[in-house]
Each structure stands twice: as C-alpha cells, then as structure tokens.
Amino acid sequence: KKLAPQPDNDKTTSLAPHTADALGEKMTTNTGLPINDDQNSLKAGERGPSLLEDFIFREKMTHFDHERIPERVVHARGSGAHGVFKLYEPIPELTKAGFLNDAEIETPVFVRFSTVAGSRGSTDLARDVRGFAVRFYTQEGNFDLVGNNMPVFFIQDAIKFPDLVHAVKPEPDNEIPQAASAHDTFWDFISLTPESAHMVMWLMSDRAIPRSYRMMEGFGVHTFRFVNAEGVASFVKFIWKPLLGVHSVAWDEAQNISGKDPDFHRRDLWDAIESGAYPEYELCVQIVPEEDEFKYDFDLLDATKIIPEELVPVQRIGKMTLNRNPDNFFAETEQIAFHLGHVVPGIDFTNDPLLQGRLFSYTDTQLTRLGGPNFQEIPINRPVVPVHNNQRDGFMRQTINKGKTSYNPNSLSGNDPQQVKAAEGGFVSYLERIEARKMRAKSKSFFDHFSQARLFFNSQSEPEKNHLIDALTFELGKVKTVMVRERMLGILAQIDKGLAAQVAFGLGLHIPEALPVNQHVPADGDPADYQSIQVE
Ligand code: HEM
C-alpha cells in the first residue's frame, strides 16, 4: 500500500488494465487451468523419478528459465518514477510543440535515472555520469529527452562511442573493476582522446557523486532545434534544475555509503515518493537564434561544449513533479525504451555528429534488448494517443490489425491510415539547407579541447578544486601503466599547470615535457586525407 497519495494521470490510467493483482484469486496455469499443487512435481511414485508429462512443472520452470533479458549495454542500472510536467507559460514564439503551448494541461512523464558503466546490480555511489532520461507522453506522441547529469560528453562523434564504452567498462579479461573509471583502459583511451578533457573535469569533480537523484541537474547535452508554427527555428539546450538544489557527497562518504547500502539512490527516490516528498525539477532552456549560429568561439554542434549561462540566460519554462512509484520494476523501469528520435512537431535535431549517431543506436540496441520490432507495444512504451500505421507482424505482436490491406497507396480499403498534413500536426523535418561534399572529417571549430575544461576548473571553489585533484590522484593512482599516467599528466597540464603539478606530486611523477598526446594512434584519422583534396 502506498503511503502518500500517488495520483493517476493519463499514462498510469492506461497502464492499469495491464496490471494484475492476484490477491485472493485462484492459481492457474498460463492457459487458465486451475492448479491443484505447484509445490510437488509429478513423479512415478513418492520416491520415483519426475515425469516429462508434468506440464505444470515445465511451464513454471520454462518461464523462470527465460526471466532475464539483456541488460542495457550502457546505463544498465537505473531507477524509475512516474510524474507530471506542467508548463509555466506557452512559448509559441519558440516552438509549436503542443505540450509547450498549453499551461493548463499536465503531461504525464516517466523518468529513469541511471549510472552508466556498472551492471544492473552495481552500486549507486560509483564515480560515474548519471543518466536523466525523461519521457513526456504528449497528445502528439512520446517525446523523450534522454539526458545526463553533466552538460557535455566525452566524444564529439558517435562513431567513437563503442571505443569509449569498451574502455570504460570492466576490462575484458577479468571483468574488473565494476562500475569505476579507475583503471588502465579508461585512462588510456581518455589520455589519447583530448576532446574528452572537459567531460573528465566534470567526472572527477563532486558532480559525479550526487547526494540524491532528487538533487542533481539534467542536461540534454546536444543543441536541439525548436521550430515554431511559422517554420522559424532556433537552437535550444535543455536543462533540468532540481528544486532541492544540487548536492553531492564527498568521496569517503560515497565509499562508506556504498559499502553499507549500494541501493542508496534507488531507496532515496522510492522513499521520498512513498512519503509524499515528491522530487521536483524545473525544465529550462537556453535559446540561440538561428542567425547567431556562428557567434561563439565554440561550435554549437560540439557536444563537448556548454553554452555558458553568462552568454545565454537560462529560462525556466515548466516544472516536473515525480509523484508515483512504478508498480513493477521490470515491466516499467526495465522495459522502457528511450530514444532521442522520439520527437514531436516543433522539436527537431541539429547536425551534432554525436546526436546524429545516437539517432541510430537506441532503436538498434532495443531490437535485441526487448526482443524484436514490437517493443513499442509494451505498455510503458505505448503513447497515450492511438497508433495507426501499416507496420505488421513480427515476434510478440499484440495488436490484431483488421482488414486486408497494409500498404500505401491503396484503393481497396477505406480503413487505411491517412498521412497528416503539416498544418494539421503531421511531423515535417526542418527544411535546413545543406550544400556539402561527403567526407570523414572533423570541423576545425571542434578543435579547442581545453578552454572550457579550464573554465570548469576555474569555476570550482578551493575545496571543490581539492576534491578534483584528490579524485584524479586516486584514479590515476590505480592505473598500472606509467606511460598512461604520464600522458594524462600531459593533458592536465594543457588544462591547468597547477592542477597537473599537484596531481603529479600526488603520484610521485613529473609532468612530461611536450608529450605528443596522440603518439600511438592517429585517433582522428589523418586530416591530410581530406584536406589535400582539391576543391574547386
Ligand atoms: C542509454 C547509446 C551518448 C544518455 C543508451 C543505450 C545505448 C546508448 C545503446 C542503451 C539503450 C537501451 O538499451 O535502451 C549511446 C550512444 C551515444 C550515447 C551511441 C553517443 C554516440 C549519450 C549521451 C547521453 C546519453 C550524450 C546524454 C545526453 C543516455 C541515457 C541512457 C542511455 C540517459 C539510459 C536510458 C534509460 O534510462 O533507459 N545510450 N548513448 N547517451 N543513454 Fe546513451
């Protein structure tokens, strides 16, 4: 029984018919046969062998044998909650998205917070990035804002993501360490990937060990695009600000708590909602008009950069309240399939090469994780609006589509779904003009890896700086390969000489002189390959 009121909304009401509560009910097989005994298998005599005929045993065991599905390849450990989002004021000048234009409606949401590197059973207290994924069940379909608690990312191009994750996950021979970045492969990759410098500053800071999921920010990271009813676009960064403020624990506190209660964040979120202390976050945006695309000394398409709040103010546009715990962890928190390709009219993408690659990866992985092409029919994934299209069949299809035809165009059936004109809410991609040559390339505007890493370091208070230095010293102290430690000191020296000197002192090493960071692999390919091409 829930302690505090846990209000229903359109989404939780739509889940209700799928829930089952067997209190006082007859026990049956999956075919509805009343079961007389599910504790003794069918045997040849009291002490005899079990019989293959025992369909009750077989059904029970077979289902159990298949209870596990693959955990998420990243963000495997998470906790979810239902809630609602309410807009403060309509923003038609920025976007035509329906849920951002009506301050009267409450849009149902489901949120999943997560760690990134550890497996499903790993500790909540790891020094790691936290996922902050929000699904809005809007009247125009699901909109997923799949963010993290840090505003930047390790890499600029999605094609590097498998390398990053292979480096950060436990090492392949011994599967050590669980949920920690303090190991050789992670720092080897990082020290060879200078674009990660800014993110690593965040990761080594107190931001990486939140006090609670209720007390951390969320960031969409990429620059997205708003489009209004006139077709005018602007760039937008999404930010969640917790009304309880941002709080972290210190490293020794994290280690103590982790040992005593590895479910600390999960329990905190659950208990807060059960007791009626509903977590609240304001949705904020930073808006850059389309004509200001090249105004800054960083590229808006580079996911390793923030837009400093001093340059573009943060506007608070609405509030999310998490007011209901899931009924079933697996059915809801585990089976939800977020994807930043789930957009609504008025919200669109940019050409950020990290964003573009993510648009492929999520559905692709979910096809395996959730067993085929019909996972959008799982109750937690269904939108609150009806779904009609010509997609058919496949493993575990739930919908019984009527009629003979499932193609378009067709002249035989009056039942086929009709395409929707843009003026009536049909999604139309933003008409961005593109004139380009194909190339595997990185824009020069992506080359400055250290200015914002330095900006972040300098923004820290003295105690925070000390924590960051301690974290780097601790983490690099776990790295066995001296060359990797030294190369990393070379990177730190490019961020801040004092920082590098203190970490070097802690490690008992010297900062290497002008160590070329990429002496082993040309991590970004050879620019000469495309720069030498004669372009008329
Ligand atoms: C989960 C890929 C970058 C936030 C995932 C999953 C994949 C993935 C495959 C597992 C999804 C599932 O099994 O349902 C990638 C790729 C990236 C990338 C290829 C870069 C190229 C990012 C970034 C963010 C992010 C930059 C934050 C802005 C998340 C979150 C989840 C997730 C929050 C967990 C979603 C959940 O709770 O179910 N990512 N990711 N990812 N990713 Fe990413």
pLDDT band (50, 70, 90) for residue 180: confident
Mean pLDDT of 38-59: 98
The whole-angstrom distance between residue 89's C-alpha and the CA centroid of its chain comes to 27
461 Cβ partners below 8 Å, 6+ apart?
A: none
Tell me the average pLDDT across 79-89. 98
Supply the pLDDT for residue 529: 57
Q: How confident is the model at residue 86 (pLDDT cuts 50, 70, 90)?
A: very high
Note the pLDDT of residue 455.
98
Q: How far is the CA of 198 from the centre of ligand 1 (A)?
A: 19
Phi/psi for 87 (5° steps) reads -80, 145
Question: What 3-state class would DSSP assign to 354?
Answer: helix
Distance (Å, whole) CA 84 – CA 192: 43
Q: Provide the terminal-to-terminal Cα distance of the chain, rounded to the nearest Å.
A: 72
What is the average pLDDT across 306-310? 98
Say if residue 179's pLDDT is above 90: no
What is the average pLDDT across 275-298? 98
Burial of 52 (0-12, 13-18, 19+ CB in 10 A): exposed
Residue 113 CB–ligand 1 contact under 6 Å: no
pLDDT value at position 123?
A: 97
pLDDT value, residue 519: 46
Q: What residue owns the CA closest to ligand 1's atom 9?
A: 362
- Kindly give the distance from the C-alpha atom of residue 246 to the centroid of ligand 1, in angstroms, as a whole number: 23
Distance 180 CA to ligand 1 centre (A): 18
What is the pLDDT, as a whole number, of residue 357?
98
Query: Looking at residues 479-496, what average pLDDT do you find?
Result: 96
Q: Is the CB of 78 under 6 A from ligand 1?
A: yes
CA torsion 211→215→220→221, rounded to 10°?
-50
Alpha-carbon span 154 to 190, nearest angstrom = 8
DSSP state string for 392-423: ---TT------SS---SS-SS-S-SPPP--GG
Show the tokens assigned to 384: 């609150």
Which residue's C-alpha comes closest to atom 17 of ligand 1? 358
Distance 64 CA to ligand 1 centre (A): 29
Nearest ligand 1 atom, CA 354? 21
pLDDT digits (tens, 9 = 90+) for 504-523: 999 999 988 765 555 444 45
Pocket test for ligand 1, best of 111, 114, 145, 146 (most atoms within 8 A of CB): 146
> How far, in Å, from the CA of 147 to the mean position of ligand 1?
8
| Sole residue written with tokens 């990759």 | 189
Full-model pTM: 0.96
Question: Does 275 score more than 60 pLDDT?
Answer: yes
Instruction: Name the band, by pLDDT with cuts 50, 70 and 90, for residue 535.
Output: very low
Angle at 329 between CA 327 and CA 331, to 5 degrees: 85
- Residue 299 scores a pLDDT above 70: yes
| pLDDT band for position 181 (cuts 50, 70, 90) | confident
Residues contributing to the annotated binding site:
72, 112, 161, 358, 362, 369
- Residues near 522 by beta carbon (within 8 Å), at least 6 away in sequence: none
The pLDDT score that the predictor gives to residue 384 is: 98
- SS3 sequence of 162-217: HHHHHHHCCCCCCCCCCCCCCCHHHHHHHHCCHHHHHHHHHHHCHHHCECCHHHCC
Angle at 477 between CA 126 and CA 265, to 5 degrees: 10
Active site residue 75: yes
**Nearest ligand 1 atom to alpha carbon 112:** 37
Strand partners, 111: 81, 134
148 classed as catalytic: yes
Q: Please compute the mean of the pLDDT values over residues 332-348 and round it to a whole number.
A: 98
Q: What is the mean pLDDT of residues 374-397?
A: 97
Confidence check: pLDDT of 527 > 60: no
The Cα 470–Cα 46 span in angstroms is 66
What pLDDT, on a 0 to 100 scale, did the predictor assign at position 414?
75
The per-residue pLDDT for 513 is 78
* 153: DSSP letter: -
pLDDT of 522 reads 46
Ligand 1: nearest atom to the Cα of 337? 14
Average pLDDT over residues 26-42: 98
Annotated binding site for heme: 72, 112, 161, 358, 362, 369
Is cis: bond before 313, omega within 30 of 0?
no
pLDDT given at position 417: 92
Kindly report the average pLDDT of the chain as a whole number: 95
